Amino acid sequence: GESVGLHLPTLSVQEGDNSIINCAYSNSASDYFIWYKQESGKGPQFIIDIRSNMDKRQGQRVTVLLNKTVKHLSLQIAATQPGDSAVYFCAENIGRAQKLVFGQGTRLTINP
């Protein structure tokens, strides 16, 4: 069936350190993946995306890695800041309707 899941539900990191959030997906037909950040009381906010024909993509302080062999996705956040504290979701695109399938989420806490 369709499922996107995460290995770690919570992650605490010291401010300034790097963080890595992982995600496993099961649908090998998925061709597009997105990482979202959700702060308390708000909707998901787009961070970065990657297509299945790529294995790495970089943004500002964020990098997404895709390993299709083991169906694994990760989000790396460099030099974390207090504002990075949030729940992070990976999502995959399935089907022509372009609906998104979300994982469970990882709560990232940045300690001062």
Total residues belonging to the chain: 112
Nearest distance from residue 57's CB to other proteins, in Å? 12
Residue 35 in contact with other proteins, rule: CB under 8 A: no
Paired strand residues for 62: 77
Looking at 13, 62, 65, 101, which residue binds other proteins (CB under 8 A)?
101
State the pairing for strand pair 86-94/72-77. Answer: unpaired
Selected range binding other proteins among 13-21, 30-38, 54-62, 69-77, rule: CB under 8 A? 30-38
> What is residue 83's three-state secondary structure?
helix
Looking at 43, 60, 70, 83, which residue binds other proteins (CB under 8 A)?
43
Residue 13 in contact with other proteins, rule: CB under 8 A: no
Cα(99)–Cα(52) distance, integer angstroms: 16
Cα(100)–Cα(47) distance, integer angstroms: 15
Binding residues for other proteins (CB under 8 A) = 4, 32, 34, 36, 41-46, 49, 89, 91, 93, 95, 97-105
